[in-house]
Amino acid sequence: MLAAGRTRSFEFFPPKSDDEARVLDATLADLVPLAPSFVSVTYRGGTESRQRTFDLVTRIQHDGAMTAMAHLICVGHTRRAMAEVLKRFLAAGVTNVMALGGDVPEDGTEHASEFAHAIDLVELAREVGDFSIGVAAHPQGHPRSANRADDRRHLAEKLALADFAVTQFFFRADDWSTLVTELDELGVSKPVLPGIMPVTTLSGIARMAVMGAAVPDELVSRLVAANERGGAAAVRAAGIEAATALSVELLERGAPGLHFYTLNRSTATREIHRALFEH
């Protein structure tokens, strides 16, 4: 898909309750008409979450309306257990996976792993079958990297084995351009899909920082001014407008596609998509 042209992809997390499942089903139905290149499903670890991800990914794949990509994480897995997970996906016709390090649970449970880094998971997936493999990229550097130079070197090593990368969300086009330039200097030219997540509430500003990417001061000021001018609705509109403008600039700079973090709701994503692609 990436070789054929620009992609449009959406990311979901598996529901934990019947109410969440109903919301996600409605979201999936809303996004099918947009003909996304693929959709991805996250995975937080643990047997229950693993099964929810498997069930959702295989359902999407078997429905035939969208191509699915399954997230996999190193944390809490032995090589043997992960090999079995990969074989199950292959048997179910799922050949696209995202190989991630994963977060250690706050309660300290299920954190043992036979994988030191995500690159070890990439290597295992290559051994098990013919997968298309994505890895994570952090425009501002991985939180556990000693410095940006180390981060870029490790990412280049992962991309030497993987097929493409998807970035953590960010808010300045320069962040993506700089990342791609630094990878190119290391001899890596594989596609790096920028991750897009609109900030649609003031409370989202703090949440974004916790999730891994601080909202820049200029965007914070814009959202605060919108709130003073028109309240929550104005904040939402300003956030969607900012995400749309970022997407336009990224495409103008040659981004191979756009990957939208949906938080399992479609409205904001569909508004951005409409502004970008439906004229």
Q: Is it the case that residue 111 has pLDDT exceeding 80?
A: no
- The phi and psi torsions of 270 (rounded to 5 degrees) equal -65, -35
User: How far apart, in whole angstroms, are the C-alpha atoms of residue 133 and residue 86?
Assistant: 12
Of 56-60, 100-104, 127-131, least confident by mean pLDDT is 100-104
Domain limits for position 108: 7-277
Instruction: Kindly indicate the confidence band of residue 106, based on its pLDDT and cuts at 50, 70 and 90.
Output: very low
User: Is the pLDDT confidence value at 83 over 80?
Assistant: yes
Tell me if 185 is assigned to some domain: yes
Domain membership flag for residue 122: yes
Residue 55 counted as domain residue: yes
Tokens of 62: 């078997």
pLDDT at 44 over 80: no
Q: Show Cβ contacts of residue 239 under 8 Å, excluding neighbours closer than 6 positions.
A: 198, 199, 200, 201, 204, 223, 268
Catalytic site residue 11? yes
Looking at residue 107, its pLDDT comes to 46
What's the DSSP call for residue 104? P
pLDDT for residue 212: 76
CB atoms within 10 A of CB 274: 12
- Contacting residues for 161 by C-beta, under 8 A, at least 6 apart: 119, 122, 123, 126, 133
Answer for the pair 132, 96: CB distance below 8 angstroms, yes or no.
yes
Residue 193: which CATH number? Answer: 3.20.20.220
Other C-beta atoms lying within 10 Å of the C-beta of residue 105: 14
Total domains, the chain: 1
In this structure, what token pair is assigned to residue 72?
């996999």
Banded pLDDT at 142 (limits 50, 70, 90): confident
Q: What is the rounded distance in angstroms from the CA atom of residue 28 to the CA atom of residue 50? A: 20
> Is 2 inside a domain boundary?
no
pLDDT tens-digit readout, 163-220: 999 999 999 999 999 999 999 999 999 999 999 999 999 999 998 888 878 999 999 9
Phi-psi region of 257 (alpha: psi -120 to 50; beta: other; left: phi over 0): left
CA 1 to mean position of chain CA atoms: 17
Reply yes or no on whether the pLDDT at 105 is more than 80.
no
The pLDDT score that the predictor gives to residue 112 is 67
**What's the first-to-final CA gap in the chain, in angstroms?**
23
Contacts of 262 (CB under 8 A, 6+ apart): 10, 11, 12, 27, 31, 269
Domain for residue 1, yes or no?
no
- Which of 11, 106, 185, 218 is the catalytic position? 11
Going by C-alpha positions, the residue among 171, 219, 191, 168 that lies closest to residue 11 is 168
> Which strand (E) or helix (H) includes residue 274?
helix 267-277
